[in-house]
A = this chain, B = another copy of it.
Amino acid sequence: MSLLVIGTLALDKIETPYDSRDEALGGSATYFAYASAKFNPVSLVGVVGTDFPACELEALQAHGVDISGVEVAVGDTFRWAGRYEANWNTRHTLDTQLGVFEHWEPKVLGDLQDAKYVFLANAAPSVQAKALDQCKGAEFVMLDTMNLWIDIAKDDLIAVLKRVNGVVLNDEEATMLTGESNLFKAAKAVLELGPDFVVLKKGEHGAFLIGKDVHFSLPAYPVENVVDPTGAGDSFAGGFMGYVASCQNTQPSTLRRAMLYGTVTASFCVEGFSMEVLSKKSRGLVEERFNELLEITTI
């Protein structure tokens, strides 16, 4: 069933204690698209500058991503530079250059408006709302955000939260949004804001899903060698929603299995820089790790 993601495509400069990359493909929508395309065709709405490498657009297409909604605007592509400390939990943003993303207005055109499954990747809540206004066929909408928007655009965020089915938040964001340090209470407080369910991500400690008629908790896949955590959350969301779209239903049992698929795609993501590992994993390898995770977490 038709799946649409609206968000950023970026070129990242990433430093870890062990290695680094420059001008590597990044962006919330990109990670989401690479992960979700393993399960279901996905269309991407976003913007890049004229400096964006053509080969990256071709690679997205080759992985089953419809890029008809990717605008090429005159100017530079969104660039982000960051550095991780050895514990992976501390990330320093070194530089952010919004480039063509700064004044971009999302345009969801033609057939893309009919998408039933829509993911509003991390962007200003007002941009997310404008994109959602154009998604006439949307039946199941999920949203991601970040601490910046909770800080400077909380009212806009709360307004768009009322319009979505599900939200993905990490532990820090959930606490910041609700003032609750107990994550279970925080997730319940987010539910009060409107969405039917919340996926609360805790990085290496796993994630849980809570909603009106569902409660599921899952440890992370035990990755022994983390290479770059960038994009883990978006890859999780991509695996989650790609699987849900492929099932054509949003039953609790589907959402539970989707938590495992999201965990698997996120685990591949962090095993390499950019899409280096995630892009190379076939659906067969996804299923193999799914079964391994199921074995590890089932009595």
User: Which residues of A come within 8 Å of B, CB atoms?
Assistant: 86-87, 181-185, 202, 204-206, 208, 215-219, 222-226, 253, 256-257, 259-260, 294-299
Contact = CB atoms under 8 A, between A and B. Distances in A.
A217 B208 contact: no
B296 A217 contact: yes
A218 B297 contact: yes
28 contacts: A86-B181, A182-B224, A182-B225, A182-B226, A183-B204, A184-B222, A202-B205, A205-B206, A206-B206, A206-B219, A208-B219, A208-B222, A215-B295, A215-B296, A216-B297, A216-B299, A217-B219, A217-B222, A217-B296, A217-B297, A218-B219, A218-B297, A253-B299, A256-B299, A260-B299, A294-B299, A297-B297, A298-B298
Is chain A's interface secondary structure helix, strand, loop, or mixed overall?
Answer: mixed
User: How many copies of this protein are present in the complex?
Assistant: 2
A87 B172 CA distance: 13
Contacts of A216: 296-297, 299
Contacts of A185: 224
Contacts of A260: 299
Given A185-B224, A216-B296, 8 more contacts: A87-B181, A184-B222, A184-B223, A205-B205, A216-B297, A217-B297, A260-B299, A294-B299
A246 to B, nearest CB: 16
A197 to B, nearest CB: 14
Contacts of A296: 208, 215-217
A59 to B, nearest CB: 31
Contacts of A225: 182
Nearest to A294: B299
A185 B259 CA distance: 24
Nearest to A187: B222
A297 B208 CA distance: 9
A86 B297 CA distance: 31
